[in-house]
Structure 1
Amino acid sequence: MTPSGSVNAPDVDAVVVGAGFGGLYALHALTGQGFTVRGFEAAPGVGGVWFHNRYPGARVDIECYDYCYYFDPDLYAEWRWTERYPSQPEILAYLNHVADRFDLRRLITFETWATGAVWDPALHQYTVTTSAGESVTCRYLVMATGQLSSSRTPDIPGLGDFRGRWYETSHWPREEVDFRGRRVGVIGTGSSGTQAITEIAKTCEHLYVFQRTPNYAIPARNGPVDEERYRRIAEDVPAAWRALQRTAAGAVMPTFHGPSTDFPPEEQRRLISERWRWGGQSINAIFSDQGTSEAANELVAGFVRERVREIVRDPAVAEALAPDAYPIGTRRLAITTEYYETFNRPNVTLADIKADPIERVTESGIKTGAAEYDIDILVLALGFEAFTGSLDKAGIRNEKGHSPTSGWDKGPRTYLGLMTRGFPNLFIVTGPGSPSVLANMVAANVQHLDFVAGLLRHMAENGHTRVEPSAAAQREWSEHVQEVARPLLRYRHDNYMVHVHPETGERNFIPYVGGFDRYVRACQEIAERGYDGFEFAS
C-alpha cells in the first residue's frame, strides 16, 4: 500500500522471513489487507520448525483442536486431525495444505535466507539481502522465524573425529535414518530428546541415554481425536477463537482448582492423580499457588517422582530419572508417551553425565571420565539459541549499525514483545515480552499478526511510513513483564526463559507470564486508543 508511482517506493510493502505457522499467516493476513509481500524461507518447503524437526517421535504438546488456524471456518471444518497430539508428518501436511489452499507458495522464495537487512532513515525502508545475492527493499520487515528455531551449535570436543553418523533433532535429515542393528547414543533429555528416545529404543540394537539433568516427563495420554469436541468447535469457529483468546495459555485445558491450602491432603492427592490421568501440560495448573510456593509445587513434583519410582523397575535407574533439581514447571515439561517405561527395556542404558561427565567424542563413540561407549549413531538433542538466535542470524542493522539485540545485555527490551525501540518498522513475531513460548504458538502468531496488520492499515490510512515504540511505552511494558514474573518460582530458577546478567547477576524474565488472555486485552486496548505507545512519522 505504498503510494504508486513514488520515486522512493520500495519493491514491496513487506518482507516476511520464515514460512512456518507465523510466516504463512503473515503472508495471508498482509496480502488480505492489500499489501504487497515477499517471503523468504531457508528450507525447500513450508513448515518452519515442523519442516526441520522431523526426528523420530516428534509431535506437538498442544492438543490438535487448538494447534491450528481459526481464521477460516471452512479450513477448520475441512481438515481432519487423526490424533489428540499430532505427529510431525501430520502437522507438516496441514501446513502444506494451508499453503496450497490459500496460494501462498507464489509469494515465497525457498532455499533462501536473509543475510542482512539495513534500515534507511531517509526513505523509511529496509534493504534486505539474501543468500541468493538478491536485494529487496521493503517498508516493513516481519521476522516470523520463531523463538525456538535456531539450534545450539554442538561444542562437544572430538565430534569431528567420530566415524559414525551424527544428527541434530532440530535439523533432522529428510531421508529415513535406519536404527536397526545400530548402537545409538542420545545426548539431551529435554522435550525433543525424550520424544526421540522412546521411538529410537523400539528398533535399535542398543540405546545409550546421556542425561545431565532429569526432566519432568508427563504422559500425553495421546489417542484418537474427540470427534464431538471437534464438531462443536467447527460449528462456530469465530466464537471458539474468541474463547481461545480468553485462556491463559491460548489453549483450552483443565485449569487451577484454587490454592493448595484450600484442600486437605487426601483431596490434594486426588486432584493431582486426576490431572496425571488427563495428561499433558495441565499438570502445571492444578493449584493456583504451585508456581509461587515451594511447598505447593513439591506436592506435584513429589507425586511425579513417586510415579517414576513406580514405573521404572531398577531402583538405581529410577532414582537417577526422578527429577529433583528444580521445581516442576520452572522449565519446559516434556510431554511424552511411555518415556519412563522405555528404561525397562533390556536394550536401553542410562548414563548419568552429571556424575560422570562426557570428556569427548572419540572415533567410535563417547568417552566419559569412567567409561567408554561404542556407538554407531549419535543423536544430539541440545536445544536452541532461544529468542535471539534467528534474529541475530538475519543481520538486521539500524542507521547506527546496531543489531536489535545489541542493547539487550540486561535482557530484552520490547513493546508488547513485538517491536524494540531504535528499529522502526521491524516486527518480531511472538518475541521477548509477549506470551511467546508460554502460550500456544499458533494462537500467539495469529493474534500478533492480526495486530500488525491492523497497525499497518492504520498507518496507511493516516499516511504514515514509519513506526516504533516510544521510550516510555517500551520501558513501562518491560517493567510490567518483570513485575508479573518476580513472584514466580520460574523467575528464581535458571532456565532458558531467564536472562541472567553475567556480571551483576541481575535476572530478567524473557516472555510475558501474565497470561495470553491478559496480553490480548492489552493489545486490544492499545489498538482502540489509536495504537497508544507507538510513535509514527511520514
Structure 2
Amino acid sequence: MVTGPVLAIKQETHGHGTSHRFCAPLREEQILPVESTIPTTIHRSERSYDAIIIGAGFSGLYQLHKLRDELGLNVRLLEQGGGIGGTWYWNRYPGARCDSESYYYCYSFSKEIEQEWEWTERYPEHWEIRKYLNFVADKLDLKRDVQLDTKVTHARFDDATSRWIVETEGGETFMAPFLITAVGCLSTANVPKLKGLETFGGQWYHTGAWPHEGVDFTGKRVGQIGTGSTGIQAAPVIAAAAQHLTIFQRTANYSVPARNGPLSAEDQRSVKANYPEIWQKARSGTNGHPFDISQQSAMSVSDAERNVAYEKAWQTGGLRFRAAFSDVLTNAAANETASDFIREKIREVVTDPDVAERLTPRDHGFATKRPPIDTEYFETFNRDNVLLVDLKTEPIVEITKNGIKTSAGEYELDIIVFATGFDALTGPLLALNISGSSDQPLSKAWASGPRTYLGLQTPGFPNLFTITGPGSPSVLCNMPVAIEQHVDWITDCIRHLREKDLARIEALPDAAEKWVEHVNDAANATLLPMASSSWYLGANVPGKPRVFMPYAGGFARYTNICNEVAGAGYKGFDIR
C-alpha cells in the first residue's frame, strides 16, 4: 500500500553526460500497480495463434475481447510498452489530456462498464485514461493474453501457409493466419533532425515519449519547440513550473478554450441515463461526437448574429466551436469568419500587440489543421518568464552545448522539449517492418503514399487488418467510436471467413485505387487540404509523400460504405 508520495529519481545519459533528476511526487491515482500482473514472456509451445494483435490501447484491447470472447479464438496481443494504454502509455507530458470529452471518449460496447466507470473531469488527463483502460482490461480479464515489453521488429506473410510470422526484438517468433495492427495513428514520435542535438549539455525530451517519472522544471531554463495541439497543452504547465520558458513557434495556431472542470455527480447521472441517445448521435454524425452541428450557414446571418453564435460556442469551449455553423470547413468565406473571430480573441487576451500578431495564424484557416483546445495557452504569453520566438523570422541554425542558436542569436537552456508531433498514420505501421505476399515491403507499396481499401487492408498484404489506418476517418473522428466500428467490422469479417472455411482475404488493387480516389475527392470537398503544413498531409515529416491521409467524407457515411461492402460479400476483396 502506498502511504505517502512517491519521489522518483532517474539517472540517465543522453550522450552528453549523466544527470540525476528529482521529479515531482506522483498522485495516488497515477500509480497503477495492476500493470505488473501482465506476463512479459511466453512458452515456446504457445507461439502459434489464430490471430496476433499489435498494440494495447483502445483498439487492441477491444479487438482482443471481440476475437477471444466472441469468436473463441486463441489470440495474443503484443505491446512494446511496459503497460497498457497505447498512445496514452507514452504521452504523459505536462498538460496531456484528451480533446474529446470524457463521457464519450470511452467504449460503448458494455453497459456494465459504461455504468460502473466514473470520470472526474470534462476532459480526462492522461493518467485517468490509462486507469480507465486498466479497469476495462481487468473487468474483461484481458491481461492474461497481453504480452508487454515486446517490440515487433518484423512481420512477414508466408504465402505457402497463409500465415503471418511476427518477430520481436527479444528474439521470439509468433505465427497466426490473421495479423491486426492496433498501433494508433499518433504513436511514432517525430524528432526533427537538428544540427548539434547530440552536443547539447542539458536534457531533451519528446512529448510523445515522456519519462514516466516526470520531469522537474523547477529553476530550469526550458525551450519548447512546437505549438501544435501538444505544445499548446504543455506550455502553460511548463511555464508555471520553470524559471523561464522560451517557446519556439514554427506555425502560429488557432486554439479554443477547453473550459475544463470537474464532473459533478449530477453530470454523471445524466450521462449514464442518456447513453443510448448519446451513442446513437455519435455514430450518426460526421466526426463521431455526440453533439449537433448547426444546419445554418455562417454566411446566412448578420455579422451581429454570427458573433453571438461564435461567442456562445467560445464560452462553451472545446471542439463544439466547429459546430457553430454548418459550413466552417466547406466554405472559405464562412471559415474566414471563424478564423477572424479567434484572431480577435488572441488580440484581446495577449497584452503585447507584437506578440499577439506573431501568435495570430495567417497561413491557414481555422480547423483546416487539427484544431487544438487549451487551458490558458494565450494567457501564458502574458507571463514575465515566457518568451516567444518566431522561427519563420529567425529559424534554428543549430543546437549548441548551451542551448538553441537561431539566425538572430543563441538562447541558453537547461532543457529542450520537442512538441513536434508524430509521423502520423503511416509512421507507426511502417515502423513494424511489414512484408506482404512475395516479400513485398509495406514501405515500397506505400512509397508514393498509403494505398488502402477502406483504410482496412492494403493490396498484397493478405489477412492484415489495420485499425483506423490511413484512408479511414481515424484522426478526424472521436477515436473510440471509430475504433469500435473498425473492430466490429474486422471481427465480422473473420467470422465470415471461418464459417465459410476460407483462409485468405486481400484487398483488390482496383478497389484500393478507387478508394484512394474517393478519399481524395472527399478531402477536396472540404478546406482541409488547403493547410499545406498539416500533418494530415504528412507535411511535418521531411521526405514524406504529400497525400491527404484520413477519410473526410464523414463517419456515418464511411460506416454505411463498410456495411455495404460486407453485405455484398466483401466486394473489392479477393477471398479464398
TM tier, shorter chain? over 0.9
Q: 2:513 aligns with which of 458, 475, 488?
A: 475
Query: How many angstroms does 1:482 deviate by?
Result: 1.4
Over the residues paired in the alignment, what is the CA RMSD in angstroms?
A: 1.9
The answer as to whether partners of 1:43 and 1:51 remain within 8 angstroms in 2 is yes
State which of 65, 71, 79 in structure 1 corresponds to 2:117: 79
Cα displacement string for residues 335-373 of structure 1 (whole angstroms, at most 9, x for unaligned residues): 110000011111111111110111111111111111211
One of 534, 544, 548 as aligned partner of 1:509: 548
Does residue 382 of structure 1 match 2:420? yes
Amino acid in structure 2 at the alignment position of 1:95: L
SS at match of 1:260: coil
Matched, 1:36 2:36: no
Say which of 285, 294, 297 aligns to 1:256.
294
State the distance in 1 between where 2:218 and 2:182 align.
38
Cα deviation 1:309-344 (Å, max 9, x = unaligned): 110111111111111121111111111100000111
* Equivalent AA in structure 2 for residue 265 of structure 1: D
Distance 1:229 1:474, change over 3 A: farther
Instruction: Letter of the 2:569 partner, please give it.
Output: G
State the secondary structure of the residue aligned to 1:245.
helix
After superposing on structure 2, the runs of 4+ consecutive aligned residues of structure 1 that deviate more than 4 Å are: 226-229, 236-239
Gaps of 5+ in 2: 1-45
**Cα distance in 2 for residues equivalent to 1:24 and 1:231:** 27
Q: Give the aligned partner of residue 464 of structure 1.
A: 502
| Alpha-carbon distance in 2 for matches of 1:306, 1:243 | 33
Aligned-pair distance for 1:489?
Answer: 1.7
Letter in 1 for 2:390: D
Please give the secondary structure, in 2, of the residue aligned with 1:142: strand
| Matched residue, 2:5 | none
Whole-Å Cα distance in 2 between the matches of residues 352 and 268 of structure 1? Answer: 32
Name which of 536, 559, 566 aligns with 1:497. Answer: 536
Q: Secondary structure at the match of 2:122?
A: coil
Question: 1:480 is paired with a residue of what secondary structure?
Answer: helix
Shift of 1:226: 5.7
1:22 aligns with 2:56: no
CA contact (8 A) 2:191 2:206 kept: no
Offset from partner CA, 1:168-226 (integer Å, 9 cap, x none): 10000011211111111101101111111010111111111111211112100111226
Show the 5 A alignment for 1:381-460: 381-460=419-498
- 1:506 Cα deviation after fit: 9.5
| 1:353 partnered with 2:385 | no
What code does the residue aligned with 1:24 have?
L
> Within 2, Cα distance between the matches of 1:524 and 1:10?
33
1:175 equivalent among 205, 209, 213: 213
Asked if 1:12 corresponds to 2:52, the answer is no
Alignment correspondent of 1:224: 262
Structure 1 unmatched ranges of 5 or more: 1-8
Contact 2:433 2:442 in 1 (8 A): no
Q: Following the alignment from structure 2 to structure 1, what is the Cα–Cα distance between the partners of residues 514 and 312?
A: 40
The C-alpha deviation readout for 1:359-392, integer Å capped at 9, x for no partner, is: 1111111111112111111111111111111111
Tell me the distance in 2 between the aligned counterparts of 1:226 and 1:409. Answer: 50
Once the two structures are superposed, the pairs formed by residues 88-487 of structure 1 within 5 Å of their partners are: 88-225=126-263, 227-228=265-266, 230-235=268-273, 237-238=275-276, 240-487=278-525
Please give the per-residue CA displacement for 1:96-146, whole angstroms capped at 9, x wherever unaligned: 111211111111111111111111112111111111101111010000001
Instruction: Find the aligned partners of 2:404 and 2:485 in 1 and give their Cα distance.
Output: 45
Task: Quote the offset at 1:533 in angstroms.
Answer: 2.3
2:107, 2:481 within 8 Å by CA — same for their partners in 1? yes
1:474 deviates by 2.1
AA in 1 matched with 2:512 = Q
Q: Which amino acid aligns with 1:70?
A: S
Kept in 1, the 8 Å contact 2:226–2:248? The answer is yes
Contact persistence 1:421–1:470 (CA under 8 A): yes
1:524 aligned onto 2:563: yes
- 8 Å contact kept, 1:410–1:499: no
Q: Secondary structure at the match of 2:330?
A: coil
1: distance between equivalents of 2:126 and 2:311? 29
The amino acid that maps onto 2:68 is T
Report deviation, 1:236. 6.0
Distance 2:95 2:307 in 1: 31
Q: CA deviation at 1:239?
A: 5.2
The DSSP-based 3-state class of the residue aligned with 1:202 is: helix
Displacement after TM superposition at 1:48 (Å): 1.0
* Aligned equivalents of 2:574, 2:264: Cα separation in 1: 47
Distance 2:196 2:546 in 1: 34
How far has the Cα of 1:237 moved from its partner?
4.2
- The SS at the match of 1:445 is helix
Number of the residue aligned with 2:103:
65
Tell me which amino acid in the other structure corresponds to 2:563. Q
TM-aligned CA deviation for residue 227 of structure 1: 4.5
Shift of 1:163: 0.9
Task: Map Cα deviations across residues 41-91 of structure 1 (whole Å, 9 max, x no partner).
Answer: 111000111011000100000001110011111101111101010111111
Q: Counterpart of 1:351 in structure 2: which amino acid?
A: V
Contact 1:68 1:442 in 2 (8 A): yes
Note if contact 1:12-1:37 (Cα within 8 Å) is conserved in structure 2: yes
